[in-house]
């Protein structure tokens, strides 16, 4: 997603002279072209995330629209109070970008995983969250963020179970995608976790479970405009949500509250295990139980009448 | 060149009136955070009377109060200089007000940043200064008022590095160094001294002054400095300045005034006014 993002933000910077790009000293082998093209509109704020967000807020108060980039854990946690106070309370058009959501940085270790980012940000006033499901959704997320007068966060990730099926339909505002039709159970992938469901469809026969498969990519929800998803949930009355995020504060949790009441609701999410080991994103997902096989098994169980 | 005496007296008279207004606000509201306001009122008086150009207007200089707990002295100062109406000031601390103990976000053009958690103001100020110096160069200047307790926060020093690195000569930091913080003397809680050497080492043109001496404040704000270096004024102040029983007393960071306190306050300030 990083390549798709740099291309999209390149265009955003070209088209909006009041925008600029700030990085927290990250972007080697990815952002050099932006730096060379945009001169003073490309700012490396150094390894100082609290100041980076405060500076971005000040720059926005002066009438500019900054994109602020780091890896997801560094872009959110160290500077959370600056995001809350300086950006969100002031309703400023600061666009945060966290690369490496979920287990993307697998072997880099726990400090580099971002499994609470959406949870801590979604309660902040005026904050809008974008978590594209696949690479081809990133540009649309960037375009939507450009339209916002207030703060937003973009979660970029690489899935351990990579898949990118053509959707049956997509809501251009919510970015909710419908991937496969089924009558027994509604399977919803949050952000790039939808790729686990797509892998289950492609390689593990998830269709046998009668799975109606969706991907969601934006919060707060606008479920009224996602009629296909609402109708699916009303019809199947069984929901399975996949979320590469700890359960507490997850989008899965928010979906449970926001969707119509159903007979069966389950989620498969990341979890912290004191004995956990480290490896590729796929290894981390397997360890957490976020696998295509687990998705199919749960879908079969939830869809059985 | 020294400041002429009538002008000096004018500053003193303004500051005394702001102190009176400030103390009346706190008495009527039964509100604490008195000591910190009294320590910075002389600095605010000079800034708003003689230094800041058209603050709160598009194209004007920008003032950021990083020590958000000093909001009430800023409110009183803005009111004194016609930048906040009597009607609005009368809502201070009342139900439904836009003048709470720490500044509200997006409420007033003259108060661009809602501060209150320490260590935020300088980054915001540096961002504004960066915008006006690098992104869209203009003559707008930024002044940021910190407390010495503020300087406990690591983010202040991140911001200081940033300001010096980007040569923000349009940024002035004023540290209201009254030597007392939340739960004790600054030197005993988490020693930030020597403040002047720290700011100097971080790349600021730094001067240490008596923060209640208008001539010194004037000289510090008008001294010739490098256009490519931010400026820091370490203003040595007295917490509770101007009220004998509050000066250098930690409890007046928190305590509201009772009637007998306020009676004595009025007597002391009336006496000070007669002696001007």
CA distance B176 to chain A (A): 21
Q: Predicted ipTM?
A: 0.94
pLDDT recorded at residue B1:
46
A-chain residues near B122 (CB < 8 A): 54
Interchain CB distance below 8 Å, A55 and B127: yes
- Lowest-pLDDT choice from A27-36, B61-70, B104-113, B202-211: A27-36
B-chain residues near A59 (CB < 8 A): 127-128, 130-131, 135
Cβ–Cβ under 8 Å, residues A268 and A244: no
Q: Is B68 on the interface with A (CB under 8 A)?
A: no
> For residue B154, what is the nearest residue in chain A, using CA coordinates?
A50
* Mean pLDDT along residues A221-232: 97
Q: Give CA–CA dist A27/A23, Å, rounded.
A: 7
pLDDT recorded at residue A145:
98
* Mean pLDDT along residues A71-80: 97
Interchain CB distance below 8 Å, A82 and B123: yes
Domain A2-156: which CATH number of 3.40.50.2300, 3.40.50.970, 3.40.470.10, 3.40.50.880:
3.40.50.970
Hey, do A2-156 and A169-303 end up sharing a CATH topology, with the first three levels equal?
yes
Per-residue pLDDT at A197 exceeds 50: yes
* Mean pLDDT along residues A34-63: 97
Hey, which residues 242-281 in chain A have their CB within 8 Å of chain B? none
A vs B: CB pairs below 8 A: 100
The minimal CB distance from B120 to the residues A41, A45, A82 is found for A82
A-chain residues near B114 (CB < 8 A): 85, 89-90
> For residue A92, what is the nearest residue in chain B, using CA coordinates?
B106
Q: Is B99 on the interface with A (CB under 8 A)?
A: no
* Mean pLDDT along residues A201-226: 97
Interchain CB distance below 8 Å, B128 and A58: yes
Q: Is B143 on the interface with A (CB under 8 A)?
A: no
pLDDT digits (tens, 9 = 90+) for A133-182: 999 999 999 999 999 999 999 999 999 999 999 999 999 999 999 999 99
* Mean pLDDT along residues A214-242: 98
pLDDT recorded at residue A140:
98
Interchain CB distance below 8 Å, B158 and A60: no
Q: What is the mean pLDDT of chain A?
A: 97
CA distance A56 to chain B (A): 6
Interchain CB distance below 8 Å, B127 and A91: no
The minimal CB distance from A59 to the residues B114, B131, B155 is found for B131
Interchain CB distance below 8 Å, A41 and B158: no
Q: Give CA–CA dist B145/B147, Å, rounded.
A: 7
The minimal CB distance from B124 to the residues A20, A41, A86 is found for A86
pLDDT recorded at residue B224:
81
pLDDT digits (tens, 9 = 90+) for B177-233: 999 988 899 999 999 999 999 999 999 999 999 999 999 999 999 988 889 999 999
A-chain residues near B110 (CB < 8 A): none
* Domain boundary assignment for chain A: 2-156, 169-303
The more confidently predicted of residues B182 and B15 is B15
pLDDT recorded at residue B5:
47
Task: Supply φ then ψ for residue A102, to 5 degrees.
Answer: 65, -135
Q: Give CA–CA dist B22/B17, Å, rounded.
A: 8
pLDDT digits (tens, 9 = 90+) for A248-290: 999 999 999 999 999 999 999 999 888 999 999 999 999 999 9
Interchain CB distance below 8 Å, A59 and B106: no
Per-residue pLDDT at B4 exceeds 90: no
The CATH fold of domain A169-303: Rossmann fold (3.40.50)
Give CA angle at B83 (B95, A53), nearest 5°: 75
Look at residues B227, B216, B228, B263 and name the one whose alpha carbon lies nearest to residue B243.
Answer: B263
Question: What is the share, in percent, of chain A residues with pLDDT greater than 70?
Answer: 100
The minimal CB distance from B106 to the residues A50, A60, A91 is found for A91
CA distance A120 to chain B (A): 19
The minimal CB distance from B155 to the residues A40, A50, A64 is found for A50
The tokens for A203 are 């390689």
Question: What is the share, in percent, of chain A residues with pLDDT greater than 90?
Answer: 96
Alpha carbon B244 to its chain's center: 21
Cβ–Cβ under 8 Å, residues B261 and B201: no
Q: Is B154 on the interface with A (CB under 8 A)?
A: yes
For tokens 């008008």, what's the residue? B222
Interchain CB distance below 8 Å, B135 and A20: yes
Among B55, B118, B121, B127, most A C-beta atoms within 10 A, so best to mutate, is: B127
* Mean pLDDT along residues B103-132: 97
- Sorted by where each starts, the structural domains of chain B and their CATH numbers stand as 5-274 (3.40.50.970)
CA distance B63 to chain A (A): 12
CA distance A107 to chain B (A): 30
CA distance A128 to chain B (A): 19
Q: Is B155 on the interface with A (CB under 8 A)?
A: yes
What secondary structure, in 3-state letters, does chain A show?
CHHHHHHHHHHHHHHCCCEEEEECCCCCCCCHHHHHHHHHHEEECCCCHHHHHHHHHHHHHCCCEEEEEEEHHHHHCCCHHHHHHHHHCCCCCCEEEEECCECCCHHHCHHHCECCHHHHHHCCCCCEEECCCCHHHHHHHHHHHHHCCCCEEEEECCCCCCCCCCCCEECCCCCCEEEECCCCEEEEEEHHHHHHHHHHHHHCCHHHHCEEEEEECEECCCHHHCHHHHHHHHHHCEEEEEEEEECCCCHHHHHHHHCCCCCEEEEEEECCCCCCCCCCHHHHHHHHCCCHHHHHHHHHHHHCC
B-chain residues near A82 (CB < 8 A): 120, 123, 155
DSSP labels, B69-101: GGHHHHHHHHHHTTSS-HHHHTTTTSTT-S--S
Q: Is A80 on the interface with B (CB under 8 A)?
A: no
Q: Is A87 on the interface with B (CB under 8 A)?
A: no
The minimal CB distance from A55 to the residues B113, B154, B162 is found for B162
Hey, which residues 14-53 in chain A have their CB within 8 Å of chain B? 20, 40-41, 43, 45-46, 48, 50-51, 53
A-chain residues near B159 (CB < 8 A): 51, 54-55
Q: Give CA–CA dist B145/A258, Å, rounded.
A: 45
Interchain CB distance below 8 Å, A51 and B158: yes
């Amino acid at each position: 997603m990083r390549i798709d993002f740099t291309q999209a933000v390149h265009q955003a910077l070209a088209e909006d002279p009041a925008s600029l790009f700030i990085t927290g000293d990250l972007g080697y082998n990815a952002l050099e072209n932006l730096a060379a093209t945009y001169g003073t509109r490309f700012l490396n704020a150094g390894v100082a995330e609290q100041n980076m967000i405060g500076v971005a807020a000040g720059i926005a108060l002066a009438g500019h629209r900054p994109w602020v980039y780091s890896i997801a854990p560094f872009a959110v946690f160290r500077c959370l109070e600056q995001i809350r106070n300086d950006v969100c309370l002031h309703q400023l058009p600061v666009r945060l970008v966290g690369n490496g959501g979920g287990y993307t940085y697998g072997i880099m270790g726990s400090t580099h995983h971002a499994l609470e980012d959406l949870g801590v940000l979604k309660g902040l006033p005026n904050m809008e969250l974008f978590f594209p499901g696949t690479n081809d959704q990133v540009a649309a997320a960037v375009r939507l963020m450009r339209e916002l007068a207030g703060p937003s966060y973009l979660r970029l990730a690489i899935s351990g179970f990579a898949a990118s099926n053509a959707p049956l339909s997509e809501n251009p505002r919510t970015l909710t995608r419908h991937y496969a039709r089924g009558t027994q159970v509604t399977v919803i992938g949050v952000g790039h976790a939808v790729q686990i469901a797509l892998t289950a469809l492609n390689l593990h026969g998830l269709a046998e479970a009668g799975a109606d498969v969706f991907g969601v990519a934006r919060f707060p929800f606008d479920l009224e405009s996602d009629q296909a998803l609402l109708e699916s949930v009303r019809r199947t009355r069984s929901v399975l949500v996949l979320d590469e995020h700890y359960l507490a504060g997850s989008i899965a949790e928010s979906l449970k509250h926001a969707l119509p009441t159903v007979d069966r609701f389950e989620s498969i999410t990341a979890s912290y295990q004191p004995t956990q080991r480290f490896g590729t994103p796929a290894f981390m997902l397997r360890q957490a139980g976020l696998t295509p096989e687990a998705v199919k098994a749960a879908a079969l169980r939830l869809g059985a009448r | 060149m020294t400041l002429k005496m009538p002008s000096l007296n004018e500053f003193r008279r303004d500051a005394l009136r702001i102190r009176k207004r400030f103390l009346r606000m706190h008495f009527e509201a039964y509100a604490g955070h008195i000591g910190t306001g009294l320590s910075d009122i002389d600095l605010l008086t000079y800034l708003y009377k003689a230094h800041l150009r058209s603050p709160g207007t598009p194209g004007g200089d920008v003032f950021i109060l990083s020590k958000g707990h000093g909001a009430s002295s800023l409110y009183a100062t803005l009111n004194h200089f016609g930048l906040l109406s009597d009607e609005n000031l009368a809502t201070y601390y009342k139900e439904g007000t836009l003048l709470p103990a720490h500044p509200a976000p997006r409420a007033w053009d003259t108060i661009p940043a809602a501060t209150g958690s320490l260590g935020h103001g300088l980054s915001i100020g540096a961002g504004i200064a960066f915008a006006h110096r690098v992104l869209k160069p203009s003559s707008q200047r930024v002044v940021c008022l910190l407390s010495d307790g503020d300087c406990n926060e690591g983010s202040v020093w991140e911001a200081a590095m940033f300001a010096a690195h980007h040569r923000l000569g349009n940024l002035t930091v004023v540290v209201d160094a009254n030597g007392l913080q939340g739960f004790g003397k600054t030197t005993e809680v988490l020693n930030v001294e020597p403040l002047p050497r720290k700011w100097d080492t971080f790349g600021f043109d730094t001067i240490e002054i008596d923060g209640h001496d208008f001539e010194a404040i004037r000289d510090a704000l008008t001294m010739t400095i490098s256009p490519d270096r931010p400026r820091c004024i370490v203003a040595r102040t007295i917490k509770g300045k101007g009220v004998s029983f509050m000066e250098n007393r930690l409890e007046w960071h928190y305590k509201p005034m009772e009637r007998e306190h306020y009676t004595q306050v009025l007597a002391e300030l009336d006496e000070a006014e007669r002696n001007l």
